[in-house]
């Protein structure tokens, strides 16, 4: 007697589609934050605080969408391993690092404090945000690994 192949329930595929929709929406919000001139919303000269919050919100949506998609597509009947737990923590740590690096001047840990000057999104902030995104991607890779 053969057992029928395990098919994903419809909820799983809906959840995966929802994750992809979050990734796409987050990407559009991220692009709006980085390039507000596309829709003529550039309210401040240079790179302002609203733009920083907008692209961080977009990165957050993409991160959450990636988590939802990997959660929906992996086999949940199997036990989670240590690499999955480490992956989840790396995802969260990467997003916190991305936010802390991008908002360094707003938080008072940057070189341009807000009362004296406008916040600056310079090379170090961009490098910190990129490093945070790389940690998020590595965490998603660890979380999505299949366990045999």
Q: Can you give the length of the chain in residues?
A: 148
Question: How far is residue 94's CA from residue 87's CA, in Å, rounded to a whole number?
Answer: 10
Return the H-helix or E-strand segment holding 64: helix 49-73
How many other C-beta atoms can be found within 10 angstroms of the C-beta atom of residue 5? 5
Q: Contact at 8 Å (CB) between 97 and 105?
A: no
pLDDT, tens only, 26-82: 999 999 988 888 887 776 677 778 888 999 999 999 999 999 998 888 877 777 788
Q: Where along the chain do its domains lie? A: 11-144
pLDDT confidence of 107, banded at 50, 70, 90? confident
pLDDT confidence of 11, banded at 50, 70, 90? low
46: left (phi over 0), alpha (psi -120 to 50) or beta: left
pLDDT confidence of 108, banded at 50, 70, 90? confident
| 113 token code pair | 């404090």
């Amino acid at each position: 007697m053969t057992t029928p192949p395990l098919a994903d329930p419809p909820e799983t595929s809906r959840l995966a589609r929802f994750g992809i929709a979050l990734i796409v929406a987050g990407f559009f919000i991220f692009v709006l934050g980085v390039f507000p001139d596309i829709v003529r919303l550039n309210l401040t000269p240079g790179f302002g605080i609203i733009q920083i919050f907008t692209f961080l919100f977009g990165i957050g949506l993409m991160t959450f969408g990636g988590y939802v998609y990997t959660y929906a597509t992996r086999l949940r009947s199997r036990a989670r391993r240590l690499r999955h737990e480490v992956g989840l923590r790396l995802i969260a740590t990467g997003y916190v690092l991305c936010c802390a690096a991008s908002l360094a001047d707003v938080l008072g840990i940057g070189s341009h404090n807000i009362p004296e000057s406008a916040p600056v999104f310079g090379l170090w902030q961009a490098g910190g945000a990129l490093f945070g995104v790389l940690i998020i991607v590595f965490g998603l890779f660890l979380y999505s690994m299949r366990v045999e």
